[in-house]
Amino acid sequence: MVFCPDGLDQDSAVTRTPTTREWLDRLVAFDTTSRNSNLDLIEDVRDWLKGRGIESWLAHNPERTKANLFATLPAHDGSTQGGIVLSGHTDVVPVDGQTWDSDPFKLMERDGNLYGRGTCDMKGFIATALAMVPEFQTQARRKPIHLAFSYDEEIGCMGAPTMLAEFADRGIRPDGCVVGEPTSMQVVVAHKGINVFHCKVHGRAAHSSLTPMGSNAIEYAARLICHIRDLADAYKANGPFDKFYDVPYTTMTTNLIQGGIALNTIPDLCEFSYEFRNLPDMKPVEIQATVKRYVAEYLLPRMQAEYPDARIDIVDGGAAPGLDASEEAAITQLARALTQDRQIRKVAYGTEAGLFQALNIPTVVCGPGSINNAHRPNEYVPLEQLAQCEGFLRNLGQALTEPDAKG
List active site positions: 91, 153
Q: How far apart are CA 388 and CA 144, in angstroms?
A: 22
Neighbours of 309 (CB within 10 A): 10
Q: How far apart are CA 120 and CA 373, in angstroms?
A: 7
| CA 38, 41, 43, 45 torsion-angle sign | negative
- C-alpha dihedral (378, 382, 386, 387), degrees to nearest 10: 160
Q: How far apart are CA 200 and CA 315, in angstroms?
A: 9
Tell me the CB-side half-sphere exposure of residue 62, using CA atoms within 13 A.
1
Bridge partners of 60, per DSSP, are: 67
Nearest alpha-carbon partner for 49 in 132, 106, 171: 132
Q: Reduce the DSSP state of residue 273 to 3 states and report it.
A: strand
Bridge partners of 71, per DSSP, are: 56, 147
Helical residues (DSSP H) of 325-382, grouped into ranges: 330-339, 353-357
Residue 183 and residue 372 in contact, taking contact as beta carbons nearer than 8 Å: no
Q: How far apart are CA 286 and CA 135, in angstroms?
A: 47
